[in-house]
Amino acid sequence: MRELRLLILLVGIVVGNGVSSRAQQAQGGSTNARAQKSYQEGMKLIGNREFEKAIEAFDEAIKRDSLYGEAYLRAAGLTRILQKPDAAYAYYKRGLPKLPATPGLAPEYLTFADLSFDRGLYSQSAEYYQKYLDLSKSKTSKQSLHATQQLKNVDFALKAMANPVAYTPVPLSQVVNAIGMQYSPVLTANQQSLLFTARTGKGGLDDENLYLSLKKNGEWQSPESISEVINSELNEGAATISADGRVLVFTSCNRKDSFGSCDLYISYREGTTWSKPVNMGSKVNTAAWDSQPSLSADGRTIYFASNRKGGLGSEDIWVTHQLEDGTWMVPINAGSTINSPGREAAPFLHASNATLYFATDGRQGMGKLDLFKATRSEKGWNEPENMGYPLNTHRDETSIFITADNKMGYYSGQPGTTGNVLIGLSQFEVPAIWKGKVTSSFALGTVYDAVTKKPIAAQVQVYDLDSASVVSQQVPSDKSTGAYTIVVNQGQEYALYVTAPGYVLVSRHISANATSQPLALDFYLQPISKGSKAVLSNLFFDTGKATLRTESRTELDKLYQFMKSNPSLKVEIAGHTDNVGQPASNLKLSEARAQEVVKYLVSKGLSASIFQAKGYGETQPKANNTTEENRQLNRRIELRIL
């Protein structure tokens, strides 16, 4: 219906202008009788809605009189109606210089300026935007404001082109780029799995599926369908995967269980098997278009694009979080700092959770959709920055991925080599200006039963010690393999906890220095039984003192939760020191520290009768005291089941 209204409006404009054109024969018209006859024939054909024949008539008029400016304009208007912008541009380019500048031509100047801008002809577009403004009667009309904004975009584009960002995209091998069209690449944190969307053919109606390529010996292997459970006769695309490769969210349209044209679906992997995809439900999906998801590293937050009601523009970026009971909250708009009155698309949340990349046509840029980068502060997202030329051009740019370590980027585009691939995947070394605000690494390993040595399902939680009691990440270990992967930001200290029903809490401290490179951390959980122990690795005291520092709060609360979940337990809280100082003083200090821990837990409501606080001083070292690292191991608080 919208297209029909536009067609009627444009026809009216063309016919109306044609009537007045007789009075302008001396200015852009023609004195050639045969040219005039062809022109009038074209006008009659417009009235009969025979547009293609009308264009032929105007072409004949131009052939007989190459200076017939009005004929060019009529042909330009018709080709616009028929959605042939390249032809319209050609007619305007040849015809407008043949007509004197008058206020009546102002709309044509604006149209030609837009067509020039859309082709990256920035200087030419600036000339005609300015001509429009010079001839326009209203300086505050919507069209004038548009022209003024476009002049600013032209200035930005020319400066960006004069100061290009140096980067060198390299197409992935033909082993990967083996399908007609492949796009929307995403990688796991360890960069060993590459997920992307592909069409087997080159047409928009060809089946769209998800493919996975694994890296072996440093080389990407031939991509395979991610799963027969996921790919179907319908389209599956615009997918995202968690850092551990075990949570998948993708877009599918017009399914029987769909709430709208396109919805978000979720699937979980156990071992090598993906679960049957499930529609994310009416809280997340609407009757509108919901697509282009991006998962946080732990798979518990999703940014996505939607044209649902309540947005700031035609399409906005929205965000939803998974709640503790496993359900997803009603999405909220990402806000006016991210969203504009225009169109936002293809969000990508960096693994660090500190940088958001997305495409928009609602901000100053090179034209159409440009890629932008926004960084997060304590107050929220900062003002997005255009990523510049030549990544951004006058064409649409979307779908960029930056690895967790900020070293490599991936995107889709037209390959530089000829062949059967229309759209292929490329990679590039990330320039400093495009890197995420925070560089991330990862830790991976397996969770075992300490007695049977068999893998178990457990909850792995990571807390940022700079933000007490705030979960930075939460992932389950694989039920079949015990495997887990977490993302850690470099230079950040973390408290890590591994819990499972029937097992003693495991606590681990990850220092800022340890996050500079990937970590391999296996955990052996002890079944709850008499004598089982756990080192409480995130309790901190000032040197020589028993006062708990504020960063100990997370550990204390986790210990409280463990005791609440196991109300029948009685435990010993044991303090230990290194051998620096006098043995008697160390013994006294270790007991005071153990008592301080018990004091906190009792203040939270636990009974003092379930605790024994005892100090062992330097008598039970875990390692010899010859190095500072070993002395740190010996300075500890332990939990022991009585």
Q: Residue 413's beta-bridge partner residues?
A: 424
Q: Are 229 and 275 in contact (CB under 8 A)?
A: yes
Q: Give the Cα separation of 65 and 531 in Å (integer).
A: 102
Q: Give the Cα separation of 269 and 226 in Å (integer).
A: 11
Q: Using pLDDT thresholds of 50, 70 and 90, give the confidence band for residue 203.
A: low
pLDDT for 632 equals 87
| Sequence-separated (6 or more) residues with CB below 8 Å from residue 227 | 267, 273, 274
On the question of pLDDT at 371 being above 50, the answer is: yes
Using one digit for the tens of pLDDT, what is the confidence trace for 29-87?
Answer: 889 999 999 999 999 999 999 999 999 999 999 999 999 999 999 999 999 999 999 99
Q: Using pLDDT thresholds of 50, 70 and 90, give the confidence band for residue 139.
A: confident
At which residue do the structure tokens 């340890």 appear? 514
pLDDT for 423 equals 85
Closest CA to 223 of 233, 236, 214: 214
Q: Give the Cα separation of 7 and 11 in Å (integer).
A: 6
For β-strands 273-274 and 278-279, DSSP reports them as: unpaired
Residue 234 exposed, middle or buried by CB count within 10 Å (0-12, 13-18, 19+): middle
On the question of pLDDT at 8 being above 50, the answer is: no
DSSP, residue by residue, 55-101: HHHHHHHHHH-TT-HHHHHHHHHHHHHTT-HHHHHHHHHHHGGGS--
Mean pLDDT estimate for the chain = 92
Question: What average pLDDT does the segment 381-408 reach?
Answer: 95
Q: Are 428 and 440 in contact (CB under 8 A)?
A: no
Q: Give the Cα separation of 587 and 477 in Å (integer).
A: 39
Using one digit for the tens of pLDDT, what is the confidence trace for 275-301?
Answer: 999 999 999 999 999 999 999 999 999
On the question of pLDDT at 446 being above 90, the answer is: yes
For β-strands 344-349 and 636-641, DSSP reports them as: unpaired
DSSP, residue by residue, 328-347: BPPPEE--TTT--SSBEEEE
Q: In this prediction, what percent of the chain has a pLDDT beyond 90?
A: 85
Q: Are 477 and 484 in contact (CB under 8 A)?
A: yes
Backbone phi, psi, residue 621, to 5°: -70, 145
Type of residue found at 330 = V
- Beta-strand (E) ranges in 343-423? 344-349, 355-360, 370-377, 380-381, 385-386, 400-402, 408-413
Whether the bond into 621 is cis, omega within 30 of 0: no
Q: Are 201 and 180 in contact (CB under 8 A)?
A: yes
Q: Give the Cα separation of 478 and 272 in Å (integer).
A: 10
Name the DSSP letter for residue 138.
-
DSSP, residue by residue, 373-390: EEEEETTEEPPPEE--TT
pLDDT for 201 equals 67
Q: How far is CA 428 from the centre of its chain?
A: 18
Using one digit for the tens of pLDDT, what is the confidence trace for 182-196?
Answer: 999 999 999 999 999
Q: Give the Cα separation of 326 and 396 in Å (integer).
A: 37
At which residue do the structure tokens 């330009």 appear? 76
Q: Give the Cα separation of 168 and 188 in Å (integer).
A: 23
Using one digit for the tens of pLDDT, what is the confidence trace for 316-341?
Answer: 999 999 998 999 999 999 999 999 99
Backbone phi, psi, residue 237, to 5°: -160, -175
CB atoms within 10 A of CB 154: 24
Torsion of CA 385, 387, 392, 396, to 10 degrees: -50
Q: Using pLDDT thresholds of 50, 70 and 90, give the confidence band for residue 416.
A: low
Q: Give the Cα separation of 462 and 483 in Å (integer).
A: 16
Give the three-class secondary structure for 211: strand
pLDDT for 490 equals 93
Q: Residue 484's beta-bridge partner residues?
A: 445
Q: Give the Cα separation of 238 and 247 in Å (integer).
A: 14
Q: Are 264 and 302 in contact (CB under 8 A)?
A: yes
The torsion region of residue 40 among left (phi > 0), alpha (psi -120 to 50) and beta comes to alpha
pLDDT for 382 equals 97
Is the CA virtual torsion 270, 330, 355, 293 positive or negative?
positive
Mean pLDDT check: name the lowest of 221-225, 419-423, 504-508.
419-423
- Beta-strand (E) ranges in 490-532? 494-499, 506-510, 519-520, 523-525
Q: Residue 614's beta-bridge partner residues?
A: 574
The enclosing H or E element of 112 equals helix 106-118
Q: Give the Cα separation of 444 and 446 in Å (integer).
A: 7
